[in-house]
Chain A
């Protein structure tokens, strides 16, 4: 059974900002089918009254004073940036 079409894959890939040419999309459709079929096993279970688990430990909010610490060095950080000017990161035009 095939769950994913090429177009489905391209639709979700766009959300994740992953380029997805047709040939690739077909490959990923098969792979995601396998994963989705694997997850079908979960439908065997009745989970109606089960609370979803969002975190492994029951910890409450940890609060602290909002005082600046561990300030990272801007010049050091900018070394990994491809294009910057006056301490600001440059990107291409966002409007065509």
Chain B
């Protein structure tokens, strides 16, 4: 079956015309129909649109075929797609159809990819299990009784289950890396500003980045090369030139200086996760890297800082949902205020309302200085912490998540457990630096992710290290048991 092939195998079949884009798209849609009955990763499958795009691509001459020609991709449902429903997994946007295309998806299409559907997530990207979706529960392909992680849970699960080879997620506090780790796939959170946020429904505007999720590091590098770069529609998208990240996949990491923060392997990290990550660090050493332990003192302050800043930004960003111009509209509202109140109370789920409330509080007169401004100051300390380490080291390495995938319904009752996990991922967003998660073994039969963190705009370095590690191990070749559940 064509869908079991790698991206480069598929590309050569397409280029030699042994396979057409239409055939590949049909096979992909068929696979999604079969596998998604249990995985439930897709909120919308865009069959007719995908087949129409495939036919157009098949007619393109060789010199017009993009770098990812014919490759099927799924898109997280908070990235807008023209003419295709974009819900943010919220009742608020249940019937919202965008009138323009987001920059990342526009570039995905320009590179020849075929968008096959929109993927489930925690509502408005707030959560780390995808259980906060207003519509469905996505399952972890490695064990159907486990969550896929979140908030980009659908994006990671669809790739892990072999429904698509590529997907886009978004990462505000770990939402690409943690689900990638839970599902045993590769997820990259690029430098803030590397990928345009135009078309990404805003959550925390100083933290959000769109990132690729794939089965291999090479595929990931290709997808980031395709979507990154300056954009006149997002002034925060960097003008820095975007390299072909594949050029950094040399396998050579001799003499590389790696820092391992003691805290990242400390209290709260599951022993099996710690063991897998220590082994991975051993592999990097055996490849010629030099490893030292360092102290990232302020990382324990990252999670509370993150919750203040992200909630404050969310309360402001989500003010646009007023039930007037688009989105959930309550029936028979008597006056304007009632439209506002009822659309926001009936349209937003509990987690979203909680964060909007917390953000509103943090920004209110009397608490702004003590809470929001203090968090902004601690953010400076957290960012400086990283800069001090990067003066001497090329990358920082640790686990992506403190545990393996949670049981469905398990941790949602205990937010502080979820928040403890945020120590590993949120500092990266606060500092605006890039980080990648690659599979590095198993804990209790479920995938573990190795997180590699770099300095601003050092994605090439991260791909180089991740690829060297991947090629030295077999974890990326392992696939989840189809449809198995306990």
Contact = CB atoms under 8 A, between A and B. Distances in A.
Interface string B293-305: 0000010110111
B206 A55 contact: yes
B377 A52 contact: yes
A35 interface: yes
B363 to A, nearest CB: 9
Interface string A31-54: 110110011111111010011111
Interface in B16-61: none
B235 A62 contact: yes
Contacts of B319: 16
A14 to B, nearest CB: 9
Given A42-B375, A73-B99, A80-B326, A56 B383 contact: yes
B93 to A, nearest CB: 10
Given A18-B344, A57-B193, A39 B326 contact: no
A45 B379 CA distance: 12
Interface string A3-15: 0000001001101
B99 A47 contact: no
A82 B315 contact: no
Interface in B334-378: 334-342, 344-345, 348, 353-354, 356-358, 360-361, 364, 371, 373-378
A92 B335 CA distance: 5
Interface residues of A, number: 51
Contacts of A1: none
A77 B431 contact: no
Nearest to A59: B236
Contacts of B315: 16
Contact of B232 (A64, A72, A93): A64
A70 B381 CA distance: 40
B206 A80 contact: no
Given A45-B381, A54-B376, A81-B325, A91 B304 contact: no
Interface in B180-228: 192-193, 206-207
B380 A53 contact: yes
Nearest to A49: B377
B206 A82 contact: no
A53 B301 CA distance: 15
Contacts of A56: 192-193, 206-207, 383, 430-432
B123 to A, nearest CB: 15
A54 B238 CA distance: 17
Contacts of B298: 45
Contacts of A42: 301, 304-305, 308, 374-375, 378
B362 to A, nearest CB: 8
Contacts of A59: 193, 235-236, 238
B13 interface: no
A8 to B, nearest CB: 8
B445 interface: no
Nearest to B342: A19
A89 interface: yes
B46 to A, nearest CB: 18
A19 B337 CA distance: 10
Interface in B424-445: 430-432
Contact of A81 (B326, B335, B430, B431): B326
Contact of B374 (A20, A47, A92): A47
Nearest to B333: A92
B96 interface: yes
16 contacts: A12-B357, A16-B319, A31-B415, A32-B358, A38-B419, A42-B301, A50-B380, A53-B383, A59-B193, A61-B235, A62-B235, A64-B232, A70-B100, A77-B325, A80-B95, A91-B336
